[in-house]
Amino acid sequence: MIVRPGIELANLTDPGCVRERNEDYYCYFEPDDDAVFSARGRLMVVADGMGGHEGGEIASGIAIETVRDAWASGSGDPSEDLLNALSKAHAAIQEYGREHPELAGMGTTCTAVAVIGDLLYYGHVGDTRLYLIRKGEIRRITHDHSLVQRLLDSGAITEEQAAEHPDRNVLVSALGMKGAVTVDVPEAPIPLLPGDILLVCTDGLHGLVSDAELLEAATRNNPREACQQLVQLARDRGGPDNITLQIARLGSGAAVPEPSQKPRSTRLKKTRPEYPAAKP
């Protein structure tokens, strides 16, 4: 897979220092057809699975494949297409869970980011985050669907208390959870500028590395070096969770992912559990 000119892209995942299984998945997708690419642009997706046995790994894998395929087949409003893609992923994970009761409770976060021309669209569930870095400043675009975020929003706790809260990993919305799911999409796309940096990461990174450190690594290094530096920083701090991120710098030359990566979709493991392909 060759990334078309216009961005410099890098992505990296690591199981961390404690967990044997990597339950994260990510992908980067561009349509093969140039005309379709002009209309649909680039898609980055990161998912952080949760659940016993192999549940988290299966849930995040279903989410990635369903969102990618639904986005690829969409042709309408980008925000509506992202909302639809995440809703389909939610239903597909629930259906798989009903067919495999031993995986009850499996689910995943998912943040899908589309760049079409100079406009940014996203769909978001859970606490995987999207950041926008511009002119030496970092801004978190997504809002965590977590218990701690609710406490912060209500003023019940401070940022300092949130960082050490015992329930900081408890989600209030995730793909695959019972009932309906909360999906955030922006009311309007976000205009992008040449030189902007997009960073998408799981809580295995942002839970250990500050926004200021994300900013410094992403602005002082190329995307690939920044990914490596940030993953190592999280590992140096204990790496209790899987660590996954993607970084895209706009307005620079294209990057060629590692040769081992499969066409159109970047797999984070050489093998994955077998499950039926989720239908859009």
Whichever domain contains 37, its CATH number is 3.60.40.10
The total of other beta-carbon atoms located within 10 Å of residue 134's CB is 14
| Residue 202 near residue 48, CB atoms below 8 Å | yes
Q: Which residues contact 136 (CB under 8 A, 6 or more apart)?
A: 215, 219
CA–CA separation, 161 and 210 (whole Å) = 15
pTM of structure: 0.88
- 199: in domain: yes
What Å distances lie between residue 48 and 36, 128, 158, CA to CA?
Answer: 29, 7, 26
pLDDT of residue 53: 66
Q: Give the residue from 8, 1, 6, 2 showing the smallest Cα distance to 199.
A: 8
Tell me the residue type at 86: L
The total of other beta-carbon atoms located within 10 Å of residue 223's CB is 25
How does the average pLDDT of the chain come out, rounded? 87
Tell me how long the chain is. Answer: 280
Q: What count of Cα atoms within 13 Å lies in the side-chain half-sphere of residue 250?
A: 22
pLDDT of residue 274: 34
- 276: in domain: no
Q: Mind listing the pLDDT tens digit for each residue in 176-208?
A: 999 889 899 999 999 999 999 999 999 999 999
Confidence class for position 160, pLDDT limits 50, 70, 90: confident
- 280: in domain: no
Edge-to-edge order in the sheet of strand 137-140: 7-14, 243-250, 197-201, 129-134, 137-140
Number of domains in the chain: 1
- 243: in domain: yes
Quote the percentage of the chain above a pLDDT of 70.
Answer: 88
- 98: in domain: yes
Residue span of the structural domain in which 50 resides: 7-250
- 145: in domain: yes
- 115: in domain: yes
Average pLDDT estimate for 226-240: 98
Q: Is the pLDDT of residue 269 over 70?
A: no
| Residue 8 near residue 248, CB atoms below 8 Å | yes
Q: Mind listing the pLDDT tens digit for each residue in 81-139?
A: 999 999 999 999 999 999 999 998 899 999 999 999 999 999 999 999 999 999 999 99
- 186: in domain: yes
pLDDT of residue 166: 75
CA–CA separation, 123 and 197 (whole Å) = 18
